[in-house]
Structure formats: C-alpha cells, structure tokens
Structure 1
Amino acid sequence: TAAVVQKMRKDSRGIPRVSFDPSGTHLVAEAEFHYHGFALTDMIIEDYMHQDTGGKSTFCRLEGSLVFRDAIGRRAFSHYVVDYDLYRDRIVILNSVVVPVSPLFPPVQAYIIKAEELQGVDGRYPDFVKFYVDVVTRAQNMAPTPEEIRLRRDRDNMSLLERIRRMPVVERLDYYVVIFVMDRLRPDDEIKTVVSGSRISGGSYGRSSLAEPIYQDMDGWRVAMFEGNFAIDHDMFYVHTFYRPTGISLPGGRDEVLIGLFTPEKNYDVHEAPVSTKSSPAGGKTASAEGPLALGSTALDISLHDHAAVVQGRLAKLGFYKKSIDGLWGSGSRGALQDFQRANGLDPNSGWNMQTQMKLFSGSGQ
C-alpha cells in the first residue's frame, strides 16, 4: 500500500524490495492530483485473498480504502485494488488501480463575511486553501460577547410590548455567506444550497435581497456562496446545504441528504464568548468546537507553504501578524509567533511545536 501511495503522490523514490511490474496495468485515476500536503490518516482493508501458485511466490490481492487529511481538516477518499506476487524477500506489484470515491456525509463550514472583503473574488482565489484562509481570517465573529449575552437574557424576560419599545435600530449590510465542503467530491457529485424562512427547506424566504447561490469547484473542493443584505442576529433565515453523491447509496434510499443547516444568528448556547476568536462558522454549535489543530490530532509543518499560510492567518486574526499571508515563513512570521508565545506564557525561543499549535488554534474551531 505504501508503494501505491507513493505512486499517487508522484514520488519516484520507491519502497525497498517493492517493485511494479512494467507489463502490468497501474492506473491512478487522478493523474493531476498529487495529494501534496495531505497525510494518510486511515487505511481500511476491505478484502484480502492469497493463492499459492506452486512456485516461489504467492499471489495476493488487496482491496480497500484510503483517507487523506490536510492541515485545515480537508479529506480525500480513494479506493484501491492491488494484485501482487509475494516472494520471500520482495514484492512485485502486478496490477494496481486507485480511484477517487465519494464521501457519505461530507462536513461543511459556513462563514459570513462583508461583501467589501471579497471584491474581485473570482480572479484572486485560484485554489481552495488560499480562499479558505482569507475567508476565515476576515469572517464575522459569530460568538456573542458577554454584553450581547446579557442583553439577550434581559430581552427574554421582557414582555412583548417592552421588546417592541426597546427594539434597537437595525443596520443591514451587504454580506456573503460562504459555505465550504471539507471533503473532496467527484465531478458528478452535486451540492445544492437552499435558503428558506424555516428549518424546513421547502419554505420560502420572503426577503428579495438574497441573491441566488453560486458554486465553485476548485479541483474537487466545493464552495457555495451567495450575497445578501441583512442584519446579523436580526434577520432570520436558514441556509440548507444538500449533497447528492454518485456511486454510493444513501440511508433510506434517498437521492440527497442534508449536510449543513446555518443561520445568521450568533451562538447564544455558549455562556462566555471566546475573546480571541474573530471568525467562527455562521450559526450552530460548531462555533465553540475544537478542531484537529487545537486538539493536536493534526500537526502543521510550517516548512510547507499551505501549512505556513494557515498559521499566518491565525496569527493575523489574533493581531500578531501584520504582513501578507503568503505562506513564506520568514522573519516577520517568526517574530509574530514569538510575540504570541510571550503573550501566552510559552517559551519564545522554542520555535514551532505542538504546544504552541494547540494554544494558537484553541477556540478557533480548526
């Protein structure tokens, strides 16, 4: 399996005592996708058989699934079948086929960002990671402040007449709602976003100021986004994200499944707002959930361009990094990291390590 993964990554170094039979069929269905920046996190063996050929080798067939994950939590799934001859001192891979597969329930993240922050979006964001980092860095904070929690609690104790009398002036702004699908999809997989006035997707939303959603496919990573003029925490609508996969059966024989439901309401389920988080998923309890970077289950390597950009984005969000988020880890990035470490009681000379990563991304949802 390690040799097959190397072939998927276009890595020509090879595995000791493992070779590919040049007369066999070796197919990687996505020749253009190299899985660079993705770690193999799960290998599932679904079928295995072996047969004694009566000679010096044993014929074997291995079939299973591979799961890859990158620094921002994206996943890519593949299915593989490998035929090989097993000798006493070596392995010869006779045939190998690897194809992408559709996930069953891909996770989604939604963010609300001011429209002025995304001017020229189509020309500036050629890939998913750059777009994701930019949106997360600039998104609206959906965690309520302690003052907002107090005001909400006071309002809940008021009569209807008192609520109307004390209703604040509402300022509606132009926003984008941006939805990221965090699993890599196949070309025929479909994503659909529906905005309605209720949790039931069939209902309609009366305000005409919400534009139709637009969809982008960035090498298999899907983004849905729509523009609207509304007030966060005042105008209530529901954004449903549906997923229709190809090649797999959904539970209950359904054609599509709801994978995301978001609102422009802040997360009042928390009792105390995290002061360091400037961007969180739009609505839902995921705003206060810890992700793989904060938990330490995924390690960032700042020598990799995409990983460094994620760290720079987080440092910028917390006010420590003032330069452009370019993925180049230089003196400005090192200085910002040291300032963060000093401010949080960490050794500023320890460099990038897991303790710093977990502290940096605590409360970020990443």
Structure 2
Amino acid sequence: MAIPTSLLHYSGHSHLRQRLVLSVLSGKPLKIDKIRPNDSNPGLRDYEVSLLRLLEKVTNGTVIEISLTGTAILVKPGIIAGGPVIHDCPLSRSMGYFLEPVIMLAPFSKKPLNLTLRGITTDEKDLSVDLIRTVTLPHLELFGVSDGLELRIKKRGAQPLGGGEVQFLCPIVKQVKTLNFVEAGKIKRIRGIAHAVRVSPQFSNRMIEACRSVVNRYIPDVYLYSDVYKGEDSGKSPGYALSLLAESTTSALHCAEAVSRPGVAPEDVALEASRLLLSEIQRGGCVDRKHQPLILLLMVLGSEDVGRCRMSSPTERTVQFLRDVRDAFGTSFKITPADKTNSSSTDLLYSCYGTGYINANRTIA
C-alpha cells in the first residue's frame, strides 16, 4: 500500500491524545509506532485503547488499526459525527483524560454532541470534572462556543472504584472566532469547590477552613462551595478533593486542585491546592499552563486573521504541541516577550495566523 505523503508519523506513546485530535481535525492519517517496545508489558494501555474506542464513537468512518503486539497504530480519520454517545472509562484514568481531547473536537461535529461518561471523576493525573466545568468550558466561550455548552456532574466517583457519571453537551459552530487576549488584569476573586464522598461531610468544611487560612491573606473575595453527594450519587469509593480557580478583572482564569491520598489529612490537601493556585497566579498570563494547548489549537483554527494571547512560558507538553501543530496544519507561532518595558515579567505573547478552518461536517438546517 502506498503511504500518502501527508501521513503524520510519530514514535512513542507520549502526547497520544493531542496527535489524535490533530489527525482528525486536519484529516491526515496518523501512524504511531514503537509504543513502549521495551516495557515488560509492551504496547497500548487499557485507557489508551479506550480513548481510541471513544474516538470511533464520536466520529464516523474512522478506521483504527492496532498491531498484534499493540506497539503500533494507524488511524485514518473520518468525520466528527457528534450526537448521543455513552462511554465507560477504565478505572486506570479519570474522565478528564477522555474529556480533554473530545472538547477540542466537539465544536466541529456534524451534530451537537451529547456525551455521557462513566468512571472516575477526579484523580491526581488529569483535570477533574470540576475544573473542566468551571475553567475549560469558559475558555471555549472566548472563541464563540457558548450556547448550550454544559457539563453536568450527575454522580461523583473517587479512586479506585469510580462509579461517577457526567454528561457533556456541546453545540456546533461554523467557525471559531479569532482571539485577541493580551491583558491579564488583576485577580479579583477566588472560587472553589470542596467535595467529599463516602467520608464525613465535615471533611469539606475542614478543607475550606484550611484553604481560607492561606488565600484570605492574598484577597478578601473568596467563596468556597461545599459539594455534598450522598447515597448512589457518591460513587463506590471514599475520597475528597479541592478545586480552586482565580478570576482576574479581564476574565483570565487560573486553576489548581489537590486530591485525597491515603494518610493525607483534608487540611494538607487544601494547603497543597492553595499553594499551587498562588504559584499559578504568580506565573501570570491570561491562560494557565493546563489549558495552553487548547487555546493554541483554537487560535490555529480561527478565521484568517492574526490571533494573539498572553501566556506564561510553555510547558514541555505545549512545546511538543506546537511542533505537532506545524506538522498537521503547517502553522507556526511567533512567540515574543509580552512586556518589553518590564524585564522581570516572564509572560510571552503567542501569535499566529489562523487557518480559517470551516466546520464542513455540520448539518445545515
């Protein structure tokens, strides 16, 4: 079989999610080989296979070939179909692992997406469903994806047995807006969600008190919400977590969270989340580090104009994402110091020329 010249070819298991997203959006086939070849258990993990299965459900006509040993895959992307989808996530990763790539694809579906996921709602590896609801979705609104955009947390599920359930609703757009977000502003308020399932409800209050002892010294406008789920809605395992977000005068969002671990008191979880939030604020920029790839992708897909965004220095994941974007769309970013007059500022200005990506999948009413 002749391999097309537009094939995206990578080695290794790292950055699988963003490469799948770029392959589907650009329509270019994706080949990944040498997936953990020297590992005692070589090949794809169960959550990676589950992500490929979810991709098949969300799209129509996508062909995924996995080698016998699981160390190589070939993806021939179809169209993003959307519509109602139900998926059970494995207990090795939380729902955040699956929601992040789906959120990048959903606005460009044929029909509005109605996705129900079941599994773990919060863990220490991926974004929790709370942060996706309060931080990730408002970032989509910057690009004109707003009416009907919602994430409903129906049941919470802590590690290791899960039992959580969420529903993600996303409208479709013809084209995303060009972003021009260069003023970070000053932090005006901090909000947070403390939840505790299958443990004493007092754990939420203890996290809130400990968090206040840190953040109230920084800003007075702090509101922390105790989210209590009982009975079947609280999943199958005990656990607690604190998710925090800070909003600036220009609607820039910074977020952090900490999750319960065996032998760690609620107060320690709260202090960890509070310190992580303050260090994230200190880095500056209009977008926090966890959401850099999402913003950069939507800037690339924007209308044929120059999009600009102020962010802190790129993470390792962001650097690789910029390289992968260049492979898929041929778009490069210009990155310059954001504040030339203030030498102590480490903020950078990311700018690129949008590709004018049109959602050709959508059903025209």
TM-score bin, normalised by smaller chain: under 0.3
TM-score (norm 1): 0.27
| TM-score (normalizing by structure 2) | 0.27
